Amino acid sequence: MPEFQMTAPEELPQLHARLLGDMTRTLLPPRRPRRNPRVKRKLSNYKRKRPEHAHLPQPRGPYREALRLI
């Protein structure tokens, strides 16, 4: 990348195009298989909260009276 620092600003688009061309011509070697393959997360046993659960009715009045109702 030192070529970018040594080039005149008006030549940068040509240098950038050449760099992209060099990168597209070079193929990467194939990857090795993973030593530890990915693990999916365990699903929860609890049901998921849905939008209809967002506004449940709240107890009215003092806390002690709400407890008496239960």
Domain assignments of the chain as residue spans, ordered by start: 3-67
CB 60 within 8 A of CB 66: yes
Is the model's pTM score more than 0.95?
no
Mean pLDDT of the region 2-6? 75
Output the pLDDT for position 3. 73
CA 24 → CA 15, 21, 68, distances in Å?
A: 14, 5, 74
Output the pLDDT for position 15. 87
Output the pLDDT for position 30. 92
pLDDT (tens digit, 9 = 90+) per residue, 19-69?
899 888 988 899 888 888 777 777 888 888 888 888 878 778 887 777 765
Query: What does residue 13 show for φ and ψ, rounded to 5 degrees?
Result: -60, -40
Per-residue burial over 17-32, b if 16 or more Cβ lie within 10 Å, else e, is eeeeeeeeeeeeeeee
